[in-house]
Amino acid sequence: MNYRLIVKDRATQDLRQLANYILVNGNADVAVKFLNAAEVTFEQLAKTPGMGKLIQLVVSRLGEIRQWRIKDFNDYLIFYRIQDTTVEILRVFHGARDLADVLSELDEEF
């Protein structure tokens, strides 16, 4: 069963910012590959949403938040939640970020 996929606006903004950073500091081909890999990974999560690691750092009012790495770009993390038959992509961050800060940002935004 495929879950319905929702990519929140903030996650789309994150992807654009990260791709722009890669473009400026790397090259256009890598930035395009990054965006394509994110899309493939989102589709993979829609097929198998439970594969992501459940985040236990803080209790979120959003419920259970999971994380998964972007395929072939392991330094970039997708934060998402599963609700009924929907997978919501909440944010996408570089893995060097402090996860406690990331999760507190999620709670503030939603």
Spatial separation of the C-alpha atoms in residues 26 and 41, rounded to whole Å: 21
For residues 81-110, average pLDDT: 82
pLDDT for residue 91:
92
32-80 pLDDT, tens per residue? 999 999 999 999 999 999 999 988 655 566 678 899 999 999 999 999 9
Number of domains in the chain: 1
Give CA–CA dist 32/22, Å, rounded.
9
What is the residue range of 40's domain?
A: 4-109
The fraction of the chain above a pLDDT of 90, given in percent, is 71
Q: What is the pLDDT of residue 28?
A: 93
Per-residue pLDDT, 61: 66
- pLDDT category at 100 given cuts 50, 70, 90 is confident
Tell which residue, 90, 36, 101, has the closest CA to residue 68: 90
Residue 62 sits in a domain whose CATH number is 3.30.2310.20
Query: In Å, how far from its chain's centre is CA 90?
Result: 6
- Average confidence score pLDDT of the chain: 88
